Amino acid sequence: MYKVTQSEIIKSFYNISYDIEAFSYATYITKLVENSILENQTNNRLFILLAQTLYLYTQDNTDNRFITAAFELKFLDYIGFKPIVNKCINCECKILQNSVFNIYEGGILCSKCSKLFDNNIKLDLTTVSLMEYVLRNDILTCSKAKVSKYITHELENILDKYLKVYVDNINFKSLHVLQSVKNNKGVDNDE
């Protein structure tokens, strides 16, 4: 058994504690990681993603809602539940016009294959493209993207459902606090 006898703080992200919204998001993603990683399990990519996301929460111009959704999507990839968004998961067709998202199948279904499955969710093609962009790029690059509130809201909704299917014990207190913060901010579907 290992015993930690000394440590040194490299970056504390102390400024997050001054902003209730950023603090709520930071608590949520930290709990998400904590509840998904086994003791003594190493996932360096996930650690770097967490550190970069916490850094982004300290920045004034960060869209915390979008960054959290981007974190969730990359998190799912890093723990082995990456949704397939660049081709149909059934026939591998790359024509995604009129495609749908199926959580239980793990990604996008083309218009032809969508007739074969239940529980399909219609997504804006921009949301699908954004998901592909997030999965291809690091979170710092993604933070520079200008994303409408409508697309962010759609991405949040699909990821909320996806996480509930693929991540155990996601019903923790920080998620309820985060939902309260989101509800107080509202969403404008016209942007």
pLDDT bin (cut points 50, 70, 90) of residue 175 is low
Q: What is the mean pLDDT of residues 105-132?
A: 96
In sequence order, the β-bridge partners of residue 109 are 100
pLDDT tens-digit readout, 20-33: 889 999 999 999 99
Distances, alpha carbon 36 to alpha carbons 51, 80, 97, 173, in Å: 16, 11, 34, 16
Residue identified by tokens 């190493």 is 42
pLDDT tens-digit readout, 137-147: 999 999 999 99
How far apart are the C-alpha atoms of 175 and 27, rounded to whole Å?
9
What does the pLDDT read at residue 191? 44
- The structure's pTM equals 0.87
Q: What is the mean pLDDT of residues 170-181?
A: 69
189: left (phi over 0), alpha (psi -120 to 50) or beta: alpha
The DSSP secondary-structure symbol of 14 reads: G
Ordered structural domains, the chain, with CATH: 16-183 (1.20.1440.120)
How far apart are the C-alpha atoms of 101 and 103, rounded to whole Å?
6
Q: What is the mean pLDDT of residues 88-97?
A: 93
